[in-house]
Structure 1
Amino acid sequence: MRAASALRAFCLSLLLAGCASSGNLTSGAPPAPAPADDYLIGVDDMVQVSVWRNPELSITAPVRPDGKLSVPLVGDVVAGGRTPDAVAKDVQDKLGAYVRDAQVTVILTELRSHEYLSRVRVTGAVRQPVSIPYRQGMTVLDAVLAAGGVTEFASPDRSSLHRKSGNSAQAYEVQLDHILKNGDLSTNYKVAPGDVITVPERVL
């Protein structure tokens, strides 16, 4: 009897493991979007370099095709492929020869180079499937509203958020009906660049 119970438990564990690896939606929250500071600057991105108390040294300019920015006093600084913080430190170090206690900040004002990859897409039973530019702080609800909301044929609580991580992708449950009708924001996740939100149709 004890051996049979153990066998049943073992078979159940195998079944659960198979379900977990079958690609079904997960009810857990997706990983948080990468902070803006992790973004790598690209060619044609618009960058603002600000030097505290020295507005004449501050500039706003696109990154040139050679990946560089031209900063007053400093000259050319490599920006392409680097984070804003890394570029700010580089400019600050070089300005040290001219400006005492230089404090530099670098802000991305327009993401142009990665604009296509950074888009958020909403597909399925929405009034207007869209591909919209990612904005920091954007949520699932923001994206769905940009698509005109769901249609009368939608099954909102079977919606999902698809996020790529490395070479794999994960889907997360989104209870869109709870968000839209009940104000339940527990699955109103913040989106990340490249996310795809799908709203399936009802099964008739």
Structure 2
Amino acid sequence: MLLTSGLLFLAGCQTNQVANELPAASGNAEHTTRYKIAPGDTLQVFVWRNPEVSTSVTVRPDGLMTAPLLEEVPAAGKTPQELARDVEKHLSTYLRDPLVTIIASGFQGTYKEKIRVVGEAAQPKSILYRDSMTLLDLIIEVGGITEFAAGNNTVIVRTENDQQTEYRVRVDDLIRDGDISANVDMKPGDIVIIPEAWF
């Protein structure tokens, strides 16, 4: 709560400062690496020709998973394909040439793959990034902005190469005036701060 208030205060104080600008959304934002499993994800584990070992599991908060014939297998931070190969190695002690497929569902995503929206969003929250996600997609996800929002003073805080940069974006122009040039591409890990208007 204190952190959010501090971020909003800083964003609100910057109305006279020039912030960096982002180019309009390209429609083909860079694709991220393949999905990494996170705690809370549901995994369907299919072991070919061994239905008695096939199962559905939820990744534990500590990032591990357990399943028939498997004790504790690290799952978080791996792609489903990487985890499938690890499970095959574990199962090879009990089964001959196991062939495993893992399908992730109920995605939670790692924290660095999420975008956080704070301040005067209708529903401030953390949202899992999806390929080609734009600012408009994000604002729709949080239900728009409140009547008290200073939408055109919204700031995106982005960290790239260990450098944090702030970008001013024009949410009011985008959603109230339909100015598509105000739409920008989002990136995993972005923090979007929507300040309150000063009346």
TM over 0.5: yes
Q: Which residue of 1 aligns with 2:128?
A: 134
Q: Give 5+ residue unaligned stretches, structure 1.
A: 1-21
How far apart are residue 87 of structure 1 and its match?
A: 1.4
Q: Which residue of 1 aligns with 2:102?
A: 105
Q: Distance in 1 between matches of 2:147 and 2:65?
A: 51
SS of residue matched to 1:144: helix
**CA 1:157–1:80 in 2, change beyond 3 Å: closer, same or farther?**
same
Instruction: Give the number of aligned pairs.
Output: 176
How far apart are residue 94 of structure 1 and its match?
A: 4.2
**CA 1:29–1:160 in 2, change beyond 3 Å: closer, same or farther?**
farther
How far apart are residue 149 of structure 1 and its match?
A: 2.3
TM-score by length of 2: 0.60
Q: Indicate the structure (1 or 2) with the bigger Cα radius of gyration.
A: 1
Percent sequence identity over aligned pairs: 23
Pairs within 5 Å for 1:47-66: 47-52=43-48, 55-64=51-60
Instruction: Flag the structure with more relative contact order, 1 or 2, with Cα contacts below 8 A and sequence separation at least 6.
Output: 2
Q: Which residue of 2 aligns with 1:18?
A: none
TM-score by length of 1: 0.59
Q: Give 5+ residue unaligned stretches, structure 2.
A: 1-16
Q: Which residue of 2 aligns with 1:35?
A: 33
> 1:2-54, CA deviations, whole angstroms, 9 ceiling, x for partnerless residues?
xxxxxxxxxxxxxxxxxxxx9832324798574353x3644x54333233565
Where does structure 1 differ by over 6 angstroms across 4 or more consecutive aligned residues?
A: none
Pairs within 5 Å for 1:16-31: 24-28=19-23
Pairs within 5 Å for 1:1-204: 24-28=19-23, 32=30, 34-37=32-35, 39=36, 41-42=38-39, 44-52=40-48, 55-64=51-60, 67-73=63-69, 75-84=70-79, 85-95=81-91, 98=95, 100=97, 102-107=99-104, 109-111=106-108, 118=114, 120-124=116-120, 126=121, 128=122, 130-134=124-128, 136-137=130-131, 139-151=134-146, 154-165=149-160, 167-180=162-175, 181-182=177-178, 184=180, 187-193=183-189, 195-200=190-195
Q: Distance in 2 between matches of 1:156 and 1:198?
A: 10
